[in-house]
């Protein structure tokens, strides 16, 4: 998993509440078994018309947000089914950070497992971010978001912060304890 330390980017403002995982990546695209390849299906029903042509009025299709690594959205982001594919699609598309007033619990956990930093902020701060046209810098080490000469502090669990800073997934965290696991196995088996 890639490390997340500092992410500087224009933000992609997706001002909608209750975006569920079925909209993040629709069910018909869940045929892949690897974590890659889902970015092209991200928000598919909102991004494309029935013929597969990009809809000009959908924010992600705006060239202004091309290459954005920070998605800012409404409350209860990632609700609905527990599909991990939603986090895979966001990451594969290029988003490293998702900022919203609140997240569905399972989606929130899936973000950390897949190298995405989910940040919860009060609605007024989220709204302020959605209205900026400048580059925003998210610094995980200092837990700050800087934009328009403002600095916003965010909270994150220390163990989750460490895994993102070091680029560790669950397996890598477990392997760091290999000596203790081996000692336990020798003494109990």
The tens digit of pLDDT for each residue in 117-175 reads 999 999 999 999 999 989 999 999 999 999 989 999 999 999 999 999 999 877 766 77
Domains of the chain: 6-188 (3.20.19.10)
Contacts within 8 Å (CB) and 24+ apart, 91-94: 91/35, 91/39, 91/115, 91/116, 92/35, 92/36, 92/37, 92/38, 92/39, 92/40, 92/42, 93/38, 93/39, 93/40, 93/42, 94/39, 94/67, 94/68, 94/69
Reference 131, options 9, 7, 12; nearest CA is 12
The model's confidence at residue 176, banded by pLDDT at 50, 70 and 90, is confident
Give dist(CA 106, CA 159) in Å, integer.
17
What pLDDT is recorded for position 180? 77
> What pLDDT does residue 114 have?
94
6-9 and 136-139 as β-strands: parallel, antiparallel, unpaired?
Answer: antiparallel
Nearest to 136 by CA among 97, 88, 93: 97
- Cα separation of 146 and 151, whole Å? 4
Q: Say whether pLDDT at 184 is over 90.
A: no
Which residue do the tokens 């837990």 mark?
143
Quick check: 182 pLDDT over 90?
A: no
Is 4's pLDDT higher than 80?
yes
Give pLDDT tens digits for 67-122: 999 999 999 999 998 889 999 999 999 999 999 999 999 999 999 999 999 999 99
Higher pLDDT, 125 or 183: 125
Q: What is the pLDDT of residue 83?
A: 85
* Predicted TM-score (pTM) of this structure: 0.91
Q: Is 7 helix (H, G, I), strand (E, B) or coil?
A: strand
**pLDDT tens digits for 9-49?**
999 999 999 999 999 999 888 887 778 889 999 999 999 99
């Amino acid at each position: 998993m890639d490390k997340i330390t500092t992410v500087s980017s224009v933000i992609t403002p997706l001002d909608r509440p209750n975006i569920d995982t079925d909209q993040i990546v629709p069910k018909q695209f869940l045929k892949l078994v690897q974590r890659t390849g889902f970015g092209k299906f991200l928000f598919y029903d909102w991004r494309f018309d029935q013929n597969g042509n990009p809809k000009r009025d959908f924010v992600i299709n705006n060239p202004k947000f091309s290459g954005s690594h920070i998605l800012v959205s409404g409350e209860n982001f990632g609700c609905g089914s527990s599909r991990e594919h939603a986090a895979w699609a966001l990451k594969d598309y290029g988003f490293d950070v998702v900022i919203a007033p609140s997240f569905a619990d399972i989606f929130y956990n899936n973000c950390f497992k897949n190298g995405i930093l989910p940040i919860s902020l009060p609605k007024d701060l989220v709204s302020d971010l959605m209205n900026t046209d400048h580059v925003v810098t998210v610094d995980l080490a200092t837990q700050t978001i800087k934009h328009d000469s403002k600095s916003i502090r965010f909270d994150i669990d220390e163990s989750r912060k460490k895994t993102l800073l070091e680029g560790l997934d669950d397996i890598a965290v477990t392997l760091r304890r290999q000596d203790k696991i081996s000692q336990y196995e020798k003494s109990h088996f």
